[in-house]
Amino acid sequence: MKVWAIFSIENEYNQPENNLVKLYKEKPTVGQLNDWWGGYVDDEYDKQELLRQLVSGASVRFNPFGAYYRIEELEVAE
């Protein structure tokens, strides 16, 4: 079975790259991600554009000092 996972990595030199944030059964839409991200978005950033980039596979951050987020498709055992 495949799932989609959001991972984060904090803005620190020693952080692992597999901090699980959220799982989805299917690839999330921009709308679903908009509902998920209720945190602060810096004025310099466009939240909707960042969410579109996240869905397309890019690693994004919502403010200059926050964590990076990425989405990956994973195979899990049933």
Domain ranges across the chain:
2-75
- The Cα–Cα gap between 60 and 76 comes to 25
- How would you classify the pairing of strands 2-9 and 68-75? antiparallel
- pLDDT band at residue 66 using 50, 70 and 90 as cut-offs: confident
Over residues 21-25, mean pLDDT: 95
Average pLDDT of span 50-57: 95
pTM of structure: 0.85
Q: Is the pLDDT of residue 13 over 80?
A: no
Query: Which residues have CB under 8 Å from 16's CB, separation 6+?
Result: 9
Radius of gyration of the chain (CA): 13
Query: Please, how many CA atoms are within 13 Å of residue 21, restricted to the half-sphere of its CB?
Result: 16
Residue 12 pairs in a beta bridge with none
Average pLDDT estimate for 13-23: 82
